[in-house]
Amino acid sequence: MASESSGSLQSRVAVFVRREPAPAYPPPPERQSLSDLLKANFFDGWLPTLMTLAVLAVVALALPPLLRFMIFDAVWSAPDGELCRAPGAGACWAFIGRKLPYFIYGSYPVDARWRVDAVLFVGAVLIGWLLWLDAPGRRIGGLLFFLIYPIFAFVLLHGAPSLGLPAVDTTLWGGVFVSLLVAAVGIVASLPLGILLALGRRSALPALSLASTGFIEFVRGVPMITVLFMANTMLPLFVPESLAPDRLARPLIGVALFASAYMAEVVRGGLQAISKGQFEGAAALGLRPWPTLRLVILPQALRHVIPGVVNSFIGLFKDTTLVAAVGVFDFLRTVDTARLDPVWAGPTISATGYVFAALFYFVFCFGMSRYSLLVERRLFYSG
Amino acid sequence: MARMAAPSRPPEPGRRTLGQGRFPFSFWSDPAIRSVVWQIVFVAIIGWLMFEAVVNARANMQARGIPIDFGFLDNVAGFDINQSLISYSATSTYGRAFLVGLLNTCLVSAIGLVLATILGALIGVARLSKNLAVAQFATVYVEALRNVPLLLQLLFWYNAVLKALPAPRQSYALPFGAYLNNRGLFAPELVFGPGAVWVGAALLAGVLAAIASWRLIRSRPARRDGRLAAGLFVVFLAAGLPAAAFFIAGRPISFAFPELKGFNFIGGIRLLPEFVALVLGLSLYTAAFIAEVVRAGVQAVPRGQSEAAAALGLPRALALRFVIAPQAMRLITPLLTSQYLNLIKNSSLAVFIGYPDLVQVFAGTVLNQTGAAVQVIFLTMAVYLAISLCASLAMNLYNRRFALAER
């Protein structure tokens, strides 16, 4: 562009200049009226109005039959499937009520069910203690839960003839308590294993790092069903006859290995979030590698990974349904088996069973995810 | 004994010197030697465990009469598979059964991926909508489907919905001449007569010509007028050439519609209820996760980008297309890849509803019949690992090209 003389700049007057300030807009209302709110959120234009009406139409079509099925037409108590087979009957909650002990305990002997109750109650108390972030003495609770409780639970559930508790074969275990058992064993075993794998992956020793990375990528690349099949069919071949693990122990080992690979990635994320300054500060204080990890790094990293651990637990709890493939009677399998009972046969039984199972899993998983959000928020604000 | 003064030259950073301590502790106090020793111990322990495992496996397998090598793949299978993309009968080999299962897995995964992506993208965008009704509807969908196990959803679709459908005589009639009943989904089938090859060739030529002419048009300076004509021309090339070939060859392609004859449907293709349930369950479940991925990707774009686009006067639609979406794809792509891998791995749940995918056919039936656990599980895992590794490699390449350069 050619250089311009100073005079030409003044000759470039703007086309339009205001002579007085523009009129001010009125201030926004302090509180919007209900109709304004509705209009802004739902009817802000012809397309949003159309979409709101479409959503309302779908809800109007789907919600009344659902409510009728679940509440108004449902059969709440009946001795057998007669009332549930009547035309127009809804969900057969009587069936759920009758089968509830089977859903909780499986085929565990009736006179020994107090042992399952004791294990579940103590477990609930300890888990509540650990999950309540402001609880006193959580370290004792952690020690109890991770070290003492497994032994206590194993002795009570399996039975110890020497202590006067008759042995109960693992083929009789089933229902909710098996689902919780598989998930709990998965988490309890995968935390230390996952930490070791994550540290191994970040290690400077190539052999360790290769082996850890190989294991993690291998387990994360295959479906869980194949890991369960591998544990169920290949494990007895790899160990001598004398050490052959029993029918429940094999899927538990498979679940523990699978969960530890995913936990290793979660812990690795937490370790990566620790700034290098922490390592350097510990080295400046003269701490060797292992005490550095134990006293400085891991406490911080594990605080960061709590939301990830809870998410892993939710995923693991949903994945416990897969152990039915190797013959373990978890909660979903008991529902699936109970719906075939000829006494209760009817057109609504399958849907009733599945809706009940879905409600159970939804309440549990949604509750845990809300808890994880709460923990994340607390961690975010506490720094 | 007084120690000599420190060495005259400090060791170079990064180079481990040997022999810094006093003998005989000089070996152990040197981190380089310690690390080598630990690694040797570690490899020795792992190696011994694997050796023991292999020895035990051989002994156990020989004791129980289980085949040790892969030769059993040439034996006759002796069981039928009710859906296969290639020809298969009870006299085919186990190796062929493996192929059938693999192709079925690929089929279910491909269709599931497409449906899940479309649905998931729609729901993810709906969750971000300003319209509260639409946003809440999408939220309910996502929360409901994410918190219920996939197996439960599959069993629900298969047992409570598809098996409860009416018999063929009272089928539900769907658009395009399809019928839905408890024997499956019967849809019209494309029948290719002689001369269909020409239509295919014309379609290929038309699409290539359309792409080439589109690039040619775009490489020139943009003009306001003539855009509609250019678009119509490209569409004519892509669609008109095959249409012309279709009519010239005497209409070689037609539909075969399913018709009710007696108690069953003849003609058309039949999709098994197991297949429909698996595709439906997988797509709906994965769509909920893809919706969350899309939402996370769009919300990760800083708000300043939208504000800057608005300040420039870009309409919202164009702002989404040219400013928000490219940046959102940076976060979405790796997360989307991992959801795709999850869908492919979750297709193995076909073993619960009897759909003959790789795990159900090979790691289920073949494993039960032959007992060759090690070989069968190894092959099955190798397939899934290969898929996962390919996807990881592709994603790493993409990340290297497009990811944000950290300073």
Task: For A325-345, write each residue's pLDDT tens digit.
Answer: 998 999 999 999 999 988 888
Q: Give whole-number Cα distances, B235 to B205, B210, B246, in Å.
A: 13, 7, 16
Nearest by Cα to B146 from A156, A205, A372: A372
Average pLDDT over residues B239-265: 82
Q: How confident is the model at residue B111 (pLDDT cuts 50, 70, 90)?
A: very high
- Determine, for residues B373 and A240 on separate chains, whether the beta-carbon distance falls below 8 Å: no
Average pLDDT over residues A11-30: 78
Cα four-point dihedral sign A222, A228, A233, A235: positive
Task: For A134-171, write each residue's pLDDT tens digit.
Answer: 778 878 888 888 888 888 888 888 887 787 788 888 88
Average pLDDT over residues B160-174: 84
Q: In this structure, what token pair is assigned to residue A126? A: 């300890």
CB within 8 Å of A361: residues ≥ 6 apart: A317, A318, B147, B148, B149, B152
pTM: 0.85
Can you tell me which residue has the tokens 């009332």?
A: A83
Average pLDDT over residues A81-87: 84
Tell me the residues of chain B between 156 and 215 that have a Cβ less than 8 Å away from chain A. Answer: 156, 159-160, 164
Question: How does strand A174-175 pair with strand A329-330?
Answer: parallel
Q: Return the higher-pLDDT residue of A304 and A191.
A: A191
Q: Return the higher-pLDDT residue of A348 and B18.
A: A348
- A81-95, B122-136, B194-208, B212-226: least confidently modelled range: B212-226
Q: Is B381 on the interface with A (CB under 8 A)?
A: yes
Residue B222 has pLDDT above 80, yes or no: no
Residue A7 has pLDDT above 50, yes or no: no
Q: Is B38 on the interface with A (CB under 8 A)?
A: yes
Question: How does strand B189-192 pair with strand B253-256?
Answer: antiparallel
The Cα–Cα gap between B181 and B265 comes to 10
- Determine, for residues B389 and A221 on separate chains, whether the beta-carbon distance falls below 8 Å: yes
Q: What per-residue confidence (pLDDT) applies to B32? A: 83
Percent of chain A with pLDDT over 70: 96
Tell me which chain A residues have a C-beta less than 8 angstroms from the C-beta of B363: 225-226, 229
Q: What per-residue confidence (pLDDT) applies to B20? A: 53
Tell me the residues of chain A between 241 and 270 that have a Cβ less than 8 Å away from chain B. Answer: 241
The Cα–Cα gap between B268 and B258 comes to 5
Average pLDDT over residues B70-81: 85
Nearest by Cα to A290 from A191, A187, A211, A196: A196
Q: Return the higher-pLDDT residue of B41 and B9.
A: B41
Residue B164 has pLDDT above 90, yes or no: no
Phi and psi for B188 in degrees, rounded to 5? -65, 150
Task: For B349-393, write each residue's pLDDT tens digit.
Answer: 999 999 999 999 999 898 888 888 888 999 999 999 999 888 888
Nearest by Cα to B345 from B332, B357, B331, B361: B357
Average pLDDT over residues A53-74: 91
Q: How confident is the model at residue B155 (pLDDT cuts 50, 70, 90)?
A: very high
Q: Return the higher-pLDDT residue of B167 and A183.
A: A183
* Average per-residue pLDDT for chain B: 85
Tell me which chain A residues have a C-beta less than 8 angstroms from the C-beta of B393: none
Q: Is A351 on the interface with B (CB under 8 A)?
A: yes
Which residue type, as a one-letter code, is found at position A280?
E
Residue A238 has pLDDT above 90, yes or no: no
Residue B156 has pLDDT above 70, yes or no: yes
Tell me which chain A residues have a C-beta less than 8 angstroms from the C-beta of B132: 41-42
Task: For B269-316, write each residue's pLDDT tens digit.
Answer: 888 899 999 999 999 999 999 999 999 999 989 999 999 999 988 888
Task: For B322-336, write each residue's pLDDT tens digit.
Answer: 899 888 988 888 889
Q: How confident is the model at residue B9 (pLDDT cuts 50, 70, 90)?
A: low
